Structure 1
Amino acid sequence: MKISINRLKNHLQLTESPEEIAALLTRSGLEVEGIEEFESIKGALEGVVIGEVLTCEKHPDADKLSLTTVDVGLDTPSQIVCGAPNVAAGQKVLVAKVGTTIYPTSGDPLTLKKAKIRGQVSEGMICAEDELGLGTSHAGIMVLNTDLPNGTPASQLLEISQDQVLEIGLTPNRADAASHLGVARDLKALLGRDIILPAEGEMKKEADGPTITVEVENADDCPRYAGVVVTDLKVAPSPQWLQNFLRSLDLEPINNVVDITNFILHDLGQPLHAFDADKISEGKIIVGKLPKDTKFVTLDEKERKLSGEELMIKDPKGGLCIAGVFGGEGSGVSDETTSIFLESAYFSPDIIRKGSQFHGLKTDASFRFERGTDPNMPVYALKQAVKLLQEIAGGKVASDIVDLYPNPIEDFVIDVEYGHVNRLIGKKIEPSEVKSILESLDIQVKNETAEGLTAIAKPYRVDVTREADIIEEILRIHGFHQVLLAENLKTDYLAEHPVKDLNKLQYRLTEILSGQGYFEMITNSLTKPSYAEKSGYLDPTKSVEIYNKLSEDLGVMRQTLLFTGLEVLARNINRRQTDLKTFEFGTVYQKTEDGYKEGRRLAIFHSGNKSSESWIEPARPFAFADLYSTVEKILDKLNINIGDVSMVETAPFAYGLKLMLGQKEIGSIGLVDDKLLKLAEVRQEVFFAELDWDLLCKKASGLKSYEEISKFPEVRRDLSLVIDKTVTFDQVKSVGIKFGGKLLRRIGVFDVYQGDKIDAGKKAYALSFHLQDQENTLTDKVIDKTMSKLIQAFEKEVGALIRT
């Protein structure tokens, strides 16, 4: 957003330099990103002066050149060779002296030097309009009608405008500052000076004109709509001061009527729109919506189809304007326009945002409307615009002001406690200063007590609705730089430390898996609806369906990473790449009763042989334990200990395990059911693990505990347990850890037997128990006592028979 320093000075007295103003605004939250110099004429005609041609003779060696002497205010006249056909003695002209840089309308800048032209010395240039960048004419030199003395700088004659323009990086919450008046309000508070605004004044009807009535179909979409008819207009170029103002903001002047609406928008922050009154059918303006797919041609001559949700300004025949966004081609101001209906409104930010986004139109008006304008500004801005139309375009007021405002928008009433002010700011602010700051920001103070006050903020401050917002206003005017940092930093809340970088965490695991020979996959989040419908374990009603699907194969968002991963495996297997270890970090999606949810998952696939056949050993297919081992390594790297483990014999697995972390499922591992493999056209066994990556990230810890290595030897004892086939090793391990005491370091299984030497439905585990004491050498008595305790626990807890 660009702000003219010259225009700011019309709103309050400023003696500070642009750099000082920029520092003040930046400190208060309106960050000034740069300061630009603006000159209405490039170079400001520095070095160009008024001269008088004293003599004019033909050049002795060139028929088309003249040899002149010109008084440019120096002690002696300057000799200048001139090629203009209209040069003559007695003329007042503009002369660029030696050393001056001029900026032509077209072409590169030119620095004048003392030169010889056809043998004659030339000390400068008598200039034409285009040579100084004042226009396009090159028919001859400019002949002036002025009594100013010779040598007077040309800038005094031509009233050249020079300005400094602030480039402000406006944050979305500061819609109130999207104008010169808005910025001036902040400077008023920062500098303690009064705002200067022209009086609203009375506006009387001066002439007869078209009668325009207004109807607002929905006051929620358009809480306030004002307008007035102005006639007898003479559409023409704007005066130079208005053109200079617009150009300083990088806006191109169009004509006096349109330029005035742009001036009011950037000066006061109130967008206006001028309709050619003679083009309004039946003299009726209607604020409402038009049916979906209605065709509408905008000012850029593009035909657009309406969504049916955007707010329109229309008449009985059709649309005139996309409200608050862009005007229509058929109702705009042209050179033939003599009467206008001038609109000034307050629209709902939501409805303007819808229209702007649907059509991809971002205009200066929509920028302000969709963030929130001042509902109390429309009539004042309208009257200021009409004054300018009277002065600049000869307009006459031809109607009373229409002002439809059925439900006035109320001020924000906010209770503020001094204790909260001091706590959030980090230092004590005296109540008197709090009151002074708020009043300087036009925030009314009521109900003052020793504990706090009630603040009443005007509705144009769309970002000031809570106590915290009021405290922020106090802080930014008091000054962030005045809040000193304490020697000991502290917070009044606890945060996890160190903060986890989830990208680094994922990258670390990617490196680990890649180092173990895994290949990473990236698959499409869109998949076939048939997977959910035919899998038997996914709920098709929870699939997130794509309305504008490209094909049926990409019809829904995936609920699991299984099927998209199987498709990758199938493609590789079909190309004789049968030994596969792959993984993927991806997102899954589900429809819920309340809307939608998504979550990150880590999927791991094993298929084919773990090792290829060789002369050393035969090929060995992947086993369940290989995948389980990988999952254990992942959890170990994240410092996560698995809780309960339970068997799974339902889809998607033929068999597998479900892993729990407390009461939450962290993932599952198993052999994929043949039925699901057929769905994805995979023709060999696949082991699959899917882990809840969001939960893993949440529970992951960068801190790992270590203990000193014991000086005393470790002892191993073995047991063989006969147990039911349904009992898992994790259950056995849990019992061992629970009853083994602090001496038990780890439990391992080194053999599993199922056969005719034990009862049907049974299996035998051969377990190793590693015992160690940190402080003493273990004795047989202590070891036997521990092992006896473990035997009793296994017999009782899992119904084990101890084999001897």
Structure 2
Amino acid sequence: MNISYKWLQDYLPCDLAPQEVADTLTSIGLETGGVEEIETIRGGLRGLVIGHILTCEVHPNSDHLHITTVNVGADEPLQIVCGAPNVAAGQKVVVATVGTTLYQGEEEFSIKKSKIRGVESFGMICSEVEIGVGTASDGIIVLPNDAPVGMPAAEYYHVESDYCIEVDITPNRVDATSHYGVARDLAAALKRYGRPAALRLPDVHLPEGDVADKMPVEVPDATACPRYQGMVIRGVTVGESPEWLRNRLLAIGLRPINNIVDITNYVLHEFGHPLHAFDMAQIKGGRVIVQTVAEGTPFVTLDGVERKLAATDLMICNAGGQPMCVAGVFGGLGSGVTEATQDVFLESANFNPTMVRRTARRLGLNTDSSFRFERGLDPERTDWALRRATSLILEIAGGRLGGMTDVYPHPQPPYEI
């Protein structure tokens, strides 16, 4: 499991260096496999600066190349030969100066002084894909006119540096499968060593919603699903997550998808409890049933693979009994959140660890969700996770709050120590 050093500091501010955090965790039983410095963009955009194209002329020996002079904030402008079709004088651009290393996938190359068709070139004007800030490769990046000339590209694109701490989680330590869980153990260690440690968890305050606007949920077998909570959120705007959220996920090796899905992944790695978001328009019949289905029922998971279900697989189904999600393991292709989604049903449940483990193994799906459910989660933790994710969705994706469903027939009494 990957832990972000900066993210950990959100719950336990401390002056320990990343390696000291790793050593302390190992000493208390959360063995760490290593500490790796990471950046939100590989290479940190070192050597890249914002430039201003002063002149742009056709190359005398080519019908597609141009010779430019670019002000990069140095004493003299740089002469750069550029082959992009959209290059023009007056543009603000990103320039890789001589000596810069660029990365494309697993490959890397250095920018050197060169001669292109007999004309010297002292750098490269870059596209999005060449510096790792996007996927466009059909032309150079053209920045707004107010982009400061000479500013490091790392500063312009807010590149963050962080440390990723790899923590090996044994089967009995489901309590430590989150940043808050690790911070809790670290706080205990610091207090034992006489160092200040103020552990904190964000307060969750939700506005008053339409309590009548609930999703009906049926759970025939409370042994398979001890608790099922869900929240209706209407009128959301699905899109790209804010930079801080994308950076948190990237720091632990997760690919951002959209703001709703990213929030569920964020809360999972923050608090250790999995969630799932459904597009309410895809819940046929407006009802959720947690049940098993007939042996051999076909089901297409989010990865586009059709799988045959067993009669022991616990599923989240619609009113017609059609499966929408493999409970605690993986979502379905037809019911997930997309950019067209307007209304969301947010699930926070507690599933039987044995059933989840059996299904995950049989389907060959080892997910962040199944990893935690298999180890046995506390049904009392579903509520905070649901409220936390809901508050983030309202903050980031907008919308208005509906009602909460809570099917919890046998509440678990607090443990006495």
User: Which residues of structure 2 form unaligned runs of 5+?
Assistant: 192-196
Q: Aligned partners of 1:343 and 1:27: how far apart in 2?
A: 37
Q: Within 5 Å, give how 1:342-357 maps onto structure 2.
A: 342-357=346-361
Q: Could you say if the C-alpha distance between residues 70 and 201 of structure 1 is closer, same or farther in structure 2, counting changes exceeding 3 Å?
A: same
Q: Aligned partners of 1:87 and 1:330: how far apart in 2?
A: 43
Q: Could you say if the C-alpha distance between residues 115 and 236 of structure 1 is closer, same or farther in structure 2, counting changes exceeding 3 Å?
A: same
Q: Could you say if the C-alpha distance between residues 406 and 153 of structure 1 is closer, same or farther in structure 2, counting changes exceeding 3 Å?
A: same
Q: Aligned partners of 1:246 and 1:175: how far apart in 2?
A: 20
Compute the displacement of 1:327 (Å).
2.6
Where 1:242 maps in the other structure, the secondary structure is helix
Q: Within 5 Å, give how 1:387-398 maps onto structure 2.
A: 387-397=391-401
Q: Please give the per-residue CA displacement for 1:668-707, whole angstroms capped at 9, x wherever unaligned.
A: xxxxxxxxxxxxxxxxxxxxxxxxxxxxxxxxxxxxxxxx
Matched, 1:204 2:208: yes
Any conservation in 2 of the 1:73–1:150 contact (CA below 8 Å)? yes
Compute the displacement of 1:235 (Å).
2.8
Where 2:342 maps in the other structure, the secondary structure is coil
**Aligned residue in 2 for 1:491:** none
> Which amino acid in the other structure matches residue 7 of structure 1?
W
Matched, 1:24 2:24: yes
Q: Aligned partners of 1:57 and 1:207: how far apart in 2?
A: 66
Matched, 1:326 2:330: yes
Where 1:258 maps in the other structure, the secondary structure is helix
**Aligned residue in 1 for 2:179:** 180
Where 1:390 maps in the other structure, the secondary structure is helix
Q: Could you say if the C-alpha distance between residues 146 and 166 of structure 1 is closer, same or farther in structure 2, counting changes exceeding 3 Å?
A: farther
Where 1:144 maps in the other structure, the secondary structure is coil
- Percent of pairs with identical residues: 50
**Aligned residue in 1 for 2:159:** 160
Any conservation in 2 of the 1:184–1:195 contact (CA below 8 Å)? yes
> Which amino acid in the other structure matches residue 12 of structure 2?
L
The root-mean-square deviation of aligned C-alpha atoms, in Å, is: 2.5
Q: Aligned partners of 1:36 and 1:185: how far apart in 2?
A: 22
Q: Could you say if the C-alpha distance between residues 283 and 148 of structure 1 is closer, same or farther in structure 2, counting changes exceeding 3 Å?
A: closer
Compute the displacement of 1:13 (Å).
0.7
Matched, 1:254 2:257: yes
Q: Within 5 Å, give how 1:473-488 maps onto structure 2.
A: none
Q: Please give the per-residue CA displacement for 1:138-160, whole angstroms capped at 9, x wherever unaligned.
A: 33322211535422110111112
User: Which residue, out of 210, 217, 226, partners 1:214?
Assistant: 217
Q: Could you say if the C-alpha distance between residues 191 and 121 of structure 1 is closer, same or farther in structure 2, counting changes exceeding 3 Å?
A: same
Any conservation in 1 of the 2:226–2:409 contact (CA below 8 Å)? yes
**Aligned residue in 2 for 1:40:** 40
Any conservation in 2 of the 1:349–1:370 contact (CA below 8 Å)? yes
**Aligned residue in 2 for 1:299:** 302
Q: Could you say if the C-alpha distance between residues 93 and 320 of structure 1 is closer, same or farther in structure 2, counting changes exceeding 3 Å?
A: closer
Matched, 1:110 2:109: yes
Any conservation in 1 of the 2:128–2:136 contact (CA below 8 Å)? yes
Where 1:366 maps in the other structure, the secondary structure is helix
Q: Could you say if the C-alpha distance between residues 137 and 297 of structure 1 is closer, same or farther in structure 2, counting changes exceeding 3 Å?
A: closer
Q: Within 5 Å, give how 1:121-520 maps onto structure 2.
A: 121-145=120-144, 147-192=146-191, 193-205=197-209, 211-300=214-303, 301-307=305-311, 309-318=312-321, 319-397=323-401, 399-413=402-416, 456=417
Compute the displacement of 1:186 (Å).
1.1
Any conservation in 2 of the 1:295–1:306 contact (CA below 8 Å)? no
Q: Aligned partners of 1:107 and 1:347: how far apart in 2?
A: 40
Compute the displacement of 1:33 (Å).
0.5
**Aligned residue in 2 for 1:691:** none
> Which amino acid in the other structure matches residue 256 of structure 2?
P
Compute the displacement of 1:200 (Å).
1.7
Where 1:412 maps in the other structure, the secondary structure is coil
Q: Could you say if the C-alpha distance between residues 174 and 146 of structure 1 is closer, same or farther in structure 2, counting changes exceeding 3 Å?
A: farther
Q: Aligned partners of 1:150 and 1:366: how far apart in 2?
A: 49
**Aligned residue in 2 for 1:480:** none
Compute the displacement of 1:167 (Å).
1.3
Compute the displacement of 1:93 (Å).
1.5
Q: Please give the per-residue CA displacement for 1:435-463, whole angstroms capped at 9, x wherever unaligned.
A: xxxxxxxxxxxxxxxxxxxxx2xxxxxxx
Where 2:136 maps in the other structure, the secondary structure is coil
Q: Aligned partners of 1:149 and 1:326: how far apart in 2?
A: 46
Higher mean C-alpha deviation, range 190-199 or range 200-209 = 200-209
Q: Could you say if the C-alpha distance between residues 46 and 350 of structure 1 is closer, same or farther in structure 2, counting changes exceeding 3 Å?
A: same
Compute the displacement of 1:7 (Å).
1.3
Q: Aligned partners of 1:310 and 1:141: how far apart in 2?
A: 50
Q: Within 5 Å, give how 1:619-698 maps onto structure 2.
A: none
Q: Could you say if the C-alpha distance between residues 362 and 115 of structure 1 is closer, same or farther in structure 2, counting changes exceeding 3 Å?
A: closer
Q: Could you say if the C-alpha distance between residues 191 and 147 of structure 1 is closer, same or farther in structure 2, counting changes exceeding 3 Å?
A: farther
- How many residues in Structure 1 have an aligned counterpart in Structure 2? 410
Compute the displacement of 1:66 (Å).
2.8
> Which amino acid in the other structure matches residue 352 of structure 2?
S
Compute the displacement of 1:228 (Å).
0.8
> Which amino acid in the other structure matches residue 14 of structure 1?
C
Any conservation in 1 of the 2:228–2:350 contact (CA below 8 Å)? yes
Matched, 1:68 2:71: no
Matched, 1:4 2:7: no
Compute the displacement of 1:12 (Å).
1.7
Compute the displacement of 1:21 (Å).
0.9
Flag the structure with more relative contact order, 1 or 2, with Cα contacts below 8 A and sequence separation at least 6: 2
Q: Could you say if the C-alpha distance between residues 141 and 107 of structure 1 is closer, same or farther in structure 2, counting changes exceeding 3 Å?
A: farther
Q: Could you say if the C-alpha distance between residues 117 and 20 of structure 1 is closer, same or farther in structure 2, counting changes exceeding 3 Å?
A: same
Q: Aligned partners of 2:158 and 2:359: how far apart in 1?
A: 43
Q: Aligned partners of 2:67 and 2:106: how far apart in 1?
A: 26
Q: Aligned partners of 1:327 and 1:60: how far apart in 2?
A: 57
Q: Please give the per-residue CA displacement for 1:323-350, whole angstroms capped at 9, x wherever unaligned.
A: 2122334433334322121110122323
Q: Aligned partners of 2:351 and 2:205: how far apart in 1?
A: 25
Compute the displacement of 1:79 (Å).
2.3
> Which amino acid in the other structure matches residue 235 of structure 1?
V
**Aligned residue in 2 for 1:56:** 56
Where 1:352 maps in the other structure, the secondary structure is helix
**Aligned residue in 2 for 1:81:** 81
User: Which residues of structure 1 form unaligned runs of 5+?
Assistant: 414-455, 457-804
Q: Aligned partners of 2:149 and 2:335: how far apart in 1?
A: 51
**Aligned residue in 2 for 1:498:** none
Q: Could you say if the C-alpha distance between residues 305 and 121 of structure 1 is closer, same or farther in structure 2, counting changes exceeding 3 Å?
A: closer
Q: Could you say if the C-alpha distance between residues 114 and 206 of structure 1 is closer, same or farther in structure 2, counting changes exceeding 3 Å?
A: farther
Q: Aligned partners of 2:225 and 2:98: how far apart in 1?
A: 62
Compute the displacement of 1:396 (Å).
2.2
Any conservation in 2 of the 1:246–1:263 contact (CA below 8 Å)? yes
> Which amino acid in the other structure matches residue 250 of structure 2?
R
> Which amino acid in the other structure matches residue 127 of structure 2?
A
Any conservation in 2 of the 1:38–1:162 contact (CA below 8 Å)? yes
Q: Aligned partners of 2:112 and 2:324: how far apart in 1?
A: 58
Query: Could you state the TM-score of these two structures normalised by the residue count of structure 1?
Result: 0.48
**Aligned residue in 1 for 2:194:** none
